[in-house]
Chain A
Amino acid sequence: DAKTTQPPSMDCAEGRAANLPCNHSTISGNEYVYWYRQIHSQGPQYIIHGLKNNETNEMASLIITEDRKSSTLILPHATLRDTAVYYCIVRARGSQGNLIFGKGTKLSVKP
Chain B
Amino acid sequence: SQTIHQWPATLVQPVGSPLSLECTVEGTSNPNLYWYRQAAGRGLQLLFYSVGIGQISSEVPQNLSASRPQDRQFILSSKKLLLSDSGFYLCAWMPATNEKLFFGSGTQLSVL
Partner-B contacts on A (CB < 8 A): 32, 34, 36, 38, 41-46, 49, 87, 91, 93-94, 96-104
Contact = CB atoms under 8 A, between A and B. Distances in A.
B46 A99 contact: yes
Q: Secondary structure at chain A's binding surface: helix, strand, loop or mixed?
A: loop
Given A34-B99, A43-B103, A97-B51, 6 more contacts: A44-B101, A94-B99, A99-B46, A100-B46, A101-B43, A101-B46
A44 B43 CA distance: 11
Interface stretch (B12-20, B69-77, B86-94): B86-94
Contacts of B100: 46, 49
Contacts of B49: 97-99
Contacts of A99: 34, 46, 49, 94, 101
Interface in B46-102: 46, 49, 51, 57, 59, 88, 90, 92, 94, 99-102
A110 B105 CA distance: 26
Given A36-B101, A99-B94, A101-B43, A41 B57 contact: no
A101 B90 CA distance: 13
Contacts of B94: 99
Contact of A98 (B43, B57, B105): B57
Nearest to A47: B100
Contacts of A103: 42-43
Interface in B1-60: 32, 34, 36, 42-44, 46, 49, 51, 57, 59
Contacts of A44: 44, 90, 101, 103
